[in-house]
Structure 1
């Protein structure tokens, strides 16, 4: 396992640090299982938005922003207890013509604990036909920076 701290860059992919708020917790005081997917989504969205792939005024800024989740799976290892900052370490396992197979880990602020890990597959789609559409050259080049060697 790769240990990543707040001050370090990961060996592959990237880490986006996310806050866990009080209202993210369940009745037991741990991060609610449904909130993990939200944290992963927010981390990936922030990463792409910082590179110009987002939505503005309800419209995608590039054709690569119009994608849908095809598959999502998560395995929980340990509960996130209470509020604070956690990391979402993610990378691309496979970048297809119109799809991206991401893997992710939810990690502690010191990088030593893996709370959960999983995969998230997205498919880029044409906004009119809603059929798979190829990534643009720019989107493919940007996504390639996340591919794990």
Structure 2
């Protein structure tokens, strides 16, 4: 999985021990998913202009170690599963070679708020990795 997003851990993202608060791992995954789509030539706005939006259906997090104030987190993203209307991505949040957390998020493609199959060209792009 290639790195698609990184940033230093900011003071505001940490607790009193200087450890990144757990909710920020989801924020980092959100930042990374936008970069992941853009790297594939489909920034969020391009999908919206086609009438397709995607929403989070579920997320799970598995922590291994803590990211700390002043460290730089990098997020690697790769597809874990492509369904008819869904896409599950796996985000590996790491500091250097040390994995901090793995986030698995399932998104659902929608039109007018209802699940819809991914357009054929988008499905081909997703299936290609």
Please give the range of the TM-score, normalised by the shorter of the 2 chains.
Answer: 0.7 to 0.9
Higher helix fraction (1 or 2): 2
Counterparts of 2:125 and 2:43, CA distance in 1: 10
Counterparts of 1:92 and 1:63, CA distance in 2: 22
Distance 1:49 1:43, change over 3 A: same
Q: List gaps (5 residues or longer) in structure 2.
A: none
Counterparts of 1:86 and 1:62, CA distance in 2: 33
- Are 2:120 and 1:137 equivalent residues in the alignment? yes
Distance 1:103 1:52, change over 3 A: closer
Number of equivalent positions? 127
Q: CA RMSD in A?
A: 1.9
1:28 positional shift: 1.7
Q: Deviations over 1:79-135 (max 9, x none)?
A: 1011242211121121011101112211123xx2110113100100112xx221011
Report if aligned partners of 1:54, 1:62 keep a CA contact under 8 Å in 2.
Answer: no
Counterparts of 1:16 and 1:33, CA distance in 2: 20
Higher strand fraction (1 or 2): 2
1:63 positional shift: 3.8
Q: Deviations over 1:37-95 (max 9, x none)?
A: 00011101122134133127xx823344x011111000111110112422111211210
Structure 1 length-normalised TM = 0.76
Task: State the match for 1:83 in structure 2.
Answer: 70
Counterparts of 1:84 and 1:35, CA distance in 2: 14
Task: State the match for 1:119 in structure 2.
Answer: 104
Structure 2 length-normalised TM = 0.86
Counterparts of 1:35 and 1:15, CA distance in 2: 18
